[in-house]
Amino acid sequence: MTLRPTVRALVAVTALLSLGGLTACSDDGGGADPQRVDVAAAFYPLQFVAERVGGDAVRVTNLTKPGAEPHDLELTPGQVGEVNQAELVVYLKGFQPAVDEAVEQAGGDRAFDVAGVQPLLDVHAGGHEHEHEGEDEAGHAGESGGKDPHLWLDPTRLATVADRLAERLGAVDPDRAADYTARARTLRADLEKLDAEFAAGLKTCQRREIVVSHTAFGYLTQRYQLEQVGMTGLTPETEPSPQRLAEVAREAREHQATTIFFETLVSPKVAETIAAQVGARTAVLDPLEGLSAGSGADYLSVMRTNLQALRTALSCS
């Protein structure tokens, strides 16, 4: 039996314990690596960007361990300590409530919120609607007025995050500012190449609707003129209603979907049920919220695998 005190309590306790350490931390290291900037990244895509832009000048800790789904992350006392001691916390406000709270408790001045880099898309952007049919009210995810946090699935947005992060790291560590800028430029070139591959690879396809488990792909579908039909809304843990499942099955049939996509970090059960109903197959479309444990992949390689999966499902030429 493990005890689960609230995050708020943990933050308060850890903040008290680390008060002495905070002042010493940037001067003599206080147990951290004094040669490198300690960065806490909230989840995988932010870790990827921090490592690529920071190179060997940073030490990056990912608060979401490999194989864990980040939306409902809970922080251990040790991780709250990492947020408190990090010289820079890279996070996405509104995506992981536990991280938002820890950053707020830690004061927020050492935090870099990637949600503030560019205006976020509305929840329904890149979605799929039949206005002429007047169908479903709750059907299209049942969320309205909110913002979609999954910005990393547009590679060009991630490149802009990298540019801003380089500026921020340069402010923390001015001696190496030029290195951060140069590495962000290299990363931007990689991401723009990926973007060009997506644009070309998805240009001519027989279908443009994708059936996915949670509506994580709004930035991707918006950028490449696809439309997503999600079984659940913006977070994967919500159970889809029988009505929603029936509607998704209807959409899949209507648009002759060959493939029902599921995610690496979430059970494929619902996707399999719908696929069996409509005579489609299932395949992975990875929202890159985290890597699988032990995976040797990175953001770029997973995105290229996603592109192949989309090209197959949509019969692109």
Residue the block writes with tokens 């929603």 = 244
> Which one of 251, 252, 258, 266 is in contact with Zn ion (CB under 5 A)?
251
If the CB atoms of residues 164 and 255 are measured against Zn ion, the closer one turns out to be: 255
Among the residue ranges 38-46, 47-55, 155-163, 216-224, the one whose residues contact Zn ion (CB under 5 A): 216-224
| Residues contacting residue 206 through CB under 8 Å, at least 6 positions apart | 314, 315, 316
Nearest approach in angstroms of CB 314 to Zn ion is 14
CB of 69 to Zn ion, least distance (A): 8
Smallest separation, CB 96 to Zn ion (Å): 10
Distance CA(142)–CA(196), nearest Å, equals 33
Among 68, 141, 216, 303, binds Zn ion (CB under 5 A): 216
Identify which of 206, 207, 245, 204 has the alpha carbon closest to the alpha carbon of residue 228. 207
Q: Which stretch binds Zn ion (CB under 5 A): 3-11, 245-253, 275-283, 295-303?
A: 245-253
Question: Closest distance between Zn ion and the C-beta of residue 251, in Å?
Answer: 5
Nearest to 163 by CA among 117, 208, 214: 117
Which range touches Zn ion (CB under 5 A), out of 36-44, 105-113, 215-223, 307-315? 215-223
User: Using CA atoms, how far apart are residues 251 and 257, in angstroms rounded to an integer?
Assistant: 8
Residue 173 vs 251, nearer CB to Zn ion = 251
**Cα–Cα dist 161/133, whole Å:** 39
DSSP E strand stretches across the chain: 37-41, 58-62, 88-91, 111-113, 209-214, 227-232, 259-262, 281-284
When asked if residue 120 is in the footprint of Zn ion (CB under 5 A), the reply is no
Report the residue number, 56 or 135, with the smaller CB distance to Zn ion: 135
Nearer to Zn ion by C-beta: 74 or 192?
74
Measure CA 280 to chain center.
Answer: 27
Closest separation between CB of residue 98 and Zn ion, Å? 15
Footprint on this chain of Zn ion (rule: CB under 5 A): 216, 251
